[in-house]
Amino acid sequence: MMEQQAEDKETKEQKQIRPVADWLIRLVKGALVGIGFILPGLSGGVLAVIFGIYDKLIRFLANLRHRFVKNLLYFLPVGIGAAIGIVLFSVVVEKAFGRYAAQFVCLFVGFVAGTFPSLWKTAGTQGRKRSDYRVLLLSTLAIFLLMVAGGRQLTEVTPNLMVWIASGLLMGLGLIVPGMSPSNFLIYFGLYDKMATGIKDFDFSVIIPLIIGFVLCVLLFAKLASCLFKKYYSGMYHFILGMVAGSSLAIFPTVVFPAFSDDNLTAAGLNFASALLFCVVLFMAGTIASYLFSKVEQKYPREELF
């Protein structure tokens, strides 16, 4: 009798803890996705895929009226976390990211490396065709070349209302199209540092147009993405897998390798060996963190919505 009461008490405590733990997990996921939006070389969409919220979020945005309140409450901590991640990392961008860009990016590449096997398994849930392998290869090459081209600042654009709305649209595409890094293209147009400073300083002439552009993009294209997933699940997931792989590979020639030039090493106060060790340690930390994160999710299973 006493043993049964103890088991019932333990079960009740677990039920009370799980919602809190699940809410905090989604908050952390949102923060990391938010960082992905402004971290050069990555995209929020990639991290949303990695953390298992991409398809649910797209379905919600494509059908806002379906279980709106329940789904809104589910994604509320994701949104809060994303806002926290964007604001906090904007401070990091201005203070330290310029000196240690390669090292910070390696941390997030580690997140990708640690979860790639599970992404591969998810992509093959409904089987694989030869065409899926072609889609994987072509999307990997396409995003790799696009990111390499977009990672260089080739022009300077003067910021204004429409430019920031367009930048918000670009960030929205970073969510809808996993693997596309909006920050790389903002660097290309000379807007990246200005955006980071505007967010850090809570400059609403920057923040509000960014939000408008982001929301417009997501609302316009989320339904299209949802329909494509329903009709072409395997092909779409292999496309996304290729985008994740290609964008991750493109990080090395655009961000990591340039950091090992003599001028950049001097600016960072590092030598070649210490810079390389820093990159390796953070890459391993990211890989281990993503693995442990998946273990936490197994202990507290995701809520099934929709």
pLDDT tens string 103-159: 777 877 787 777 777 778 777 888 888 899 999 999 999 988 877 776 554 456 788
Q: What pLDDT, on a 0 to 100 scale, did the predictor assign at position 147?
A: 74
Q: What pLDDT, on a 0 to 100 scale, did the predictor assign at position 213?
A: 93
Q: Is the pLDDT of residue 269 over 70?
A: yes
Is 6 within a domain? no
Is 63 within a domain? yes
Report DSSP letters for 4-53, one per residue. HHHHHHHHHHHHHHHHHHHHHHHHHHHHHHHHHHHSTT--HHHHHHHTT-
For the chain, give the percent of residues with pLDDT over 90.
Answer: 13
Is 149 within a domain? yes
Is 193 within a domain? yes
User: Which residue has 């417009």 as its token pair?
Assistant: 216
Is 244 within a domain? yes
Q: Is the pLDDT of residue 217 over 70?
A: yes
Q: What is the largest CA-CA distance in the chain?
A: 75
Residue 306 — pLDDT band, cuts 50, 70, 90? Answer: very low
Per the structure, the count of domains in the chain is 1
Is 235 within a domain? yes
**Distances from the Cα of 295 to the Cα of 25, 290, 298, angstroms:** 12, 9, 5
pLDDT tens string 47-94: 787 777 888 888 888 888 888 888 899 999 999 999 898 888 777 765
3-class state of residue 1 by DSSP:
coil
Is 1 within a domain? no
Is 7 within a domain? no
Q: Is the pLDDT of residue 256 over 90?
A: no
- Domain holding 98, by residue range, is 16-299
pTM here is 0.62
